[in-house]
Amino acid sequence: MGLALFKERRLAERKNLTGLLPGSLIRADGKGSVSCRPVDISAHGIGIVITGEKKTLPIGTELKLVVTDNEIDLRVAWSAPDFGKQDSMRYGLVATDSSVDLEQLFTQFGCLK
C-alpha cells in the first residue's frame, strides 16, 4: 500500500546557521573541546557536522556550549553519516534544560543565515 510515512525526529522547525558557534563547545567529561561546524538550529536543538573518523560522539554524550559567562548543557541525541561525505558525521544535540531557547541565543550573536 505504498511507502510508510517518514517519521520526523525534530520537534521544531530548523533554521540554517552561518557555520559559527556563539562560543565554545566542550565535552562535559573534561576530554576537551569539540571541533565542529554547526549547520542548523531550533529552539532546543543544534545540528552539527564533525569531520575525521576518530572524532566521534556516542549518543548520550554530555556537552557544554560556553557562551560568555553562561554554560548551556547539551546531549547528543542522534548521529548519522553526513549525506555520503567521507569521514563526516552529522549529530543532533538537544538542550537538557527545556527553558533554554538556542535559536534566540544564536540570533543574538548573529549566527543565523
HSE-up (13 A, CA, CB side) for residue 2: 3
pLDDT, one tens digit for every residue, the chain (113 residues)? 455 554 445 455 777 778 888 899 999 999 899 999 999 998 899 999 999 866 789 999 999 999 988 999 999 999 999 887 788 999 999 999 999 999 999 998 888 88
Backbone angles phi, psi at 108, to 5 degrees: -55, -35
* Domain residue limits, the chain: 15-108
How many other β-carbons are positioned within 10 Å of the β-carbon of residue 91? 24
**CA gap 83, 2 in Å, rounded:** 25
Fold of 15-108: Thrombin, subunit H (2.40.10)
In terms of Cβ atoms closer than 10 Å to its own Cβ (0-12, 13-18, 19+), residue 59 is: exposed
Task: List Cβ neighbours of 28 (8 Å cut-off, separation of 6 or more).
Answer: 61, 62, 63, 64, 73
